[in-house]
Amino acid sequence: MHDPIPALLDSLRAALGPSGLLTGPADTAAYVEDWRRLYRGRTPAVVRPADTGQVATVLRLCAAAGVAVVPQGGNTSMVGGATPDDSGRQIVLSLARLDRVRAVDPRDFTMTVEAGVTLKAAQEAAAAAGCLLGLSISSEGSAQIGGVLATNAGGNNTVRYGNARDLVLGLEVVLADGQIWNGLRRLRKDNTGYPLRQLFVGSEGTLGVITAAVLKLAPAARETAVALCAVASAEAALDLFGRFQAHDPGAVTAFEYMSGAGIGFVLDHIPGTRLPLAAPAAHYVLVELATPRRDAGLRAGLEHVLEAALEAGEVTDAALAATEAQRAALWRLREEHSEAQKREGASVKNDVSVPVSAVPAFIAAATEACLALMPGIRPVPFGHLGDGNIHFNLEQPKEADAAWFLAQDHAIMDTVNAVVRRFDGSFSAEHGVGRLKPYMMPEWRGGAELDAMRRIKAALDPGGILNPGKVLG
Ligand code: 2HG
Ligand code: ZN
């Protein structure tokens, strides 16, 4: 049979120039393995277009050759969403060179950024213009805007600003056949037909390739107050959230829960971290308040709420950040959870959501179910309590073999999901479906919903070249 790949590589090289194409195994190695090291694929080439026009050329050529394309940003997927399979026949399309901030407009409170700009660089560009990009995730130093939007990332500030999709006003997308859709509109109102941009946000590269976006900004914070609290239980954490909401709901920008296990792993494995409390606890909360208002007295408000919670026995100890360095150190204890867990050993992740009020009961029930399934398994629940998204991660039993443990991932995930279902939750709150979870889709989204998704996929990508095997399987 005729193999279209050699001729395709020649055309790609001619179109992109030598710096636009990597083919040697040493050069492509970093692109074919996911961050969690769950999948290692193979690829004939990683293409690195320099602009939207070149992305369009890549897709036109690949579509004509019938060769699959796996879009990739910062390669921080938790579900293998950006990794090629091991057929050696899927081209990796890196968006990293599309790294320009095209505009920041503080009057409109918008910014226009290309797909390869890291989330952190976008935040910094917004801040330089006196604005705030209200999206923050642990991997923001590497995660790129294209991937952040293609996966509808959530993160720490969802409680205040929503998910990635809530921040998108416009998109530029290259379709599977190479057509460019310029939808970079900066409008707050635009009621003209199907909201296509929302179709691409969260489609995980299966419907089109996002090359640029217009993002909504907010006024920069004038005051910020952050505290790490030891709390008596997950219920107490929820009660504390209620107190902050009652005190000043508009000020809560993050409300994160962590367990003693997770903080313990961070302190054990991440150099330079320390617990700024008198003693370790079984449950913690990291709360951040921020406001653009002048003289809002956030710190006094924080102290006031914490005193009442201390008196009620919900909070047992707390450390308030007095400087920006202290604030960063407190956040580090939260943001290093994934890395610390990875260093501790193999883990199975369950990125689930339940109604906020059900989080404590969910954690208790899921812990019980997992311990019944596998004695010695170590639950590490942490995450975005303020929006109901808990990472119910499970670390391998101490002496267990990592490969043996990972081979049970479906049994473990199914056990957690059975509990999630009892609370009317979701099996993937923010990490998406990727390559890890399409097998869950028929059970959770089957019938009319999955049928409609398949029809949309067939309409926009009739050749099935965009990120095959992801989301819909
Ligand atoms: C976070 O909230 C990320 O830090 C990663 O979503 C969570 O490692 C995880 O499971
Ligand atoms: Zn998260």
Long-range pairs, 268-271, Cβ under 8 A, ≥24 = 268/340, 268/344, 269/339, 269/340, 269/343, 269/344, 270/332, 270/336, 270/339, 270/340
Query: Helix, strand, coil proportions of the chain in percent (round to 5)?
Result: 40, 20, 40
Quick one: which ligand is closest to 266's CA?
1
- Residue 339 CA to residue 109 CA, distance in Å, equals 34
Task: Among 78, 79, 257, 342, say which to mutate for ligand 1: greatest number of ligand atoms within 8 Å of CB.
Answer: 78
Q: What integer is the mean pLDDT of 264-271?
A: 98
Q: For the chain, give the percent of residues with pLDDT over 90.
A: 99
Ligand 1 atom at minimum distance from 335 CA: 4
Q: What integer is the mean pLDDT of 263-272?
A: 98
Q: What is the pLDDT of residues 360-375, one digit of tens each?
A: 999 999 999 999 999 9
Confidence of residue 217 (pLDDT cuts 50, 70, 90): very high
Confidence of residue 191 (pLDDT cuts 50, 70, 90): very high
- Cα 338 to middle of ligand 1, angstroms: 6
Q: Please tell me the residue having the least CA distance from ligand 1 atom 3.
A: 138
Contact by Cβ (8 Å): 277, 216: no
Q: Please tell me the residue having the least CA distance from ligand 1 atom 5.
A: 338
Contact by Cβ (8 Å): 164, 154: yes
Q: What is the pLDDT of residue 83?
A: 98
Return phi, psi of residue 421, to 5°.
-60, -40
Maximal C-alpha separation, the chain = 76
Structure tokens at 72: 């990739």
Whole-angstrom distance between the N-terminal and C-terminal Cα of the chain?
Answer: 26
Contact by Cβ (8 Å): 209, 466: yes
CA distances from 221 to 79, 112, 218, 304 (A): 33, 21, 9, 21
Q: What is the pLDDT of residue 430?
A: 98
Task: Among 341, 391, 431, say which to mutate for ligand 1: greatest number of ligand atoms within 8 Å of CB.
Answer: 391
Q: What is the pLDDT of residues 318-339, one digit of tens each?
A: 999 999 999 999 999 999 999 9
Amino acid (one-letter) located at 42: R
Amino acid (one-letter) located at 70: V
Q: What is the pLDDT of residue 88?
A: 97
- Cα 456 to middle of ligand 1, angstroms: 30
Can you point out the beta strands (E) in 16-167? Answer: 21-22, 46-47, 68-72, 90-94, 101-105, 110-114, 131-132
Q: What is the pLDDT of residues 130-160, one digit of tens each?
A: 999 999 999 999 999 999 999 999 999 999 9
Does the pLDDT value for residue 259 go beyond 90?
Answer: yes
Q: Please tell me the residue having the least CA distance from ligand 1 atom 6.
A: 155
- Residue 80 CA to residue 77 CA, distance in Å, equals 6
Task: Among 79, 138, 139, 152, say which to mutate for ligand 1: greatest number of ligand atoms within 8 Å of CB.
Answer: 138
Structure tokens at 467: 């990120």
Q: Which residues contact 41 (CB under 8 A, 6 or more apart)?
A: 32, 33, 83, 84, 85, 86, 90
Q: What is the pLDDT of residues 60-98, one digit of tens each?
A: 999 999 999 999 999 999 999 999 999 999 999 999 999
- Residue 451 CA to residue 120 CA, distance in Å, equals 37
Confidence of residue 1 (pLDDT cuts 50, 70, 90): confident
- Cα 90 to middle of ligand 1, angstroms: 28
Contact by Cβ (8 Å): 349, 342: no
CB-based pocket (< 6 A), ligand 1: 78, 138, 337-338, 349, 351, 383, 391, 393
Contact by Cβ (8 Å): 265, 334: no
Using DSSP, state whether 244 is helix, strand or coil. Answer: helix
Domain annotation for the chain: domains and CATH numbers: 101-219 (3.30.465.10), 223-337 (3.30.70.2190), 345-433 (3.30.70.2740)
- Residue 5 CA to residue 51 CA, distance in Å, equals 23
Contact by Cβ (8 Å): 338, 37: no
- Cα 381 to middle of ligand 2, angstroms: 11
Q: Which residues contact 387 (CB under 8 A, 6 or more apart)?
A: 154, 158, 159, 353, 356
Q: What is the pLDDT of residues 52-65, one digit of tens each?
A: 999 999 999 999 99
Q: For the chain, give the percent of residues with pLDDT over 70.
A: 100
Average per-residue pLDDT for the chain: 97
- Cα 391 to middle of ligand 2, angstroms: 7
Q: What integer is the mean pLDDT of 375-393?
A: 98
Which residues are paired to 230 by β-bridges? Answer: 284, 317
Ligand 1 atom at minimum distance from 391 CA: 10
Closest CA to 47 of 84, 100, 85, 101: 84
Closest CA to 144 of 170, 122, 159: 122
Contact by Cβ (8 Å): 270, 339: yes
- Cα 363 to middle of ligand 1, angstroms: 16
Q: At what angle do helices 324-335 and 260-269 cross, to 10 degrees?
A: 110
Q: What is the pLDDT of residue 103?
A: 98
Quick one: which ligand is closest to 388's CA?
2
Ligand 1 atom at minimum distance from 389 CA: 2
- Cα 26 to middle of ligand 2, angstroms: 31
Q: Please tell me the residue having the least CA distance from ligand 1 atom 1.
A: 138
DSSP sequence for 118-152? BHHHHHHHHHHTTEE-----TTTTT-BHHHHHHTT
Q: At what angle do helices 298-311 and 234-247 cross, to 10 degrees?
A: 140
Task: Among 431, 436, 437, say which to mutate for ligand 1: greatest number of ligand atoms within 8 Å of CB.
Answer: 431
Contact by Cβ (8 Å): 155, 139: no
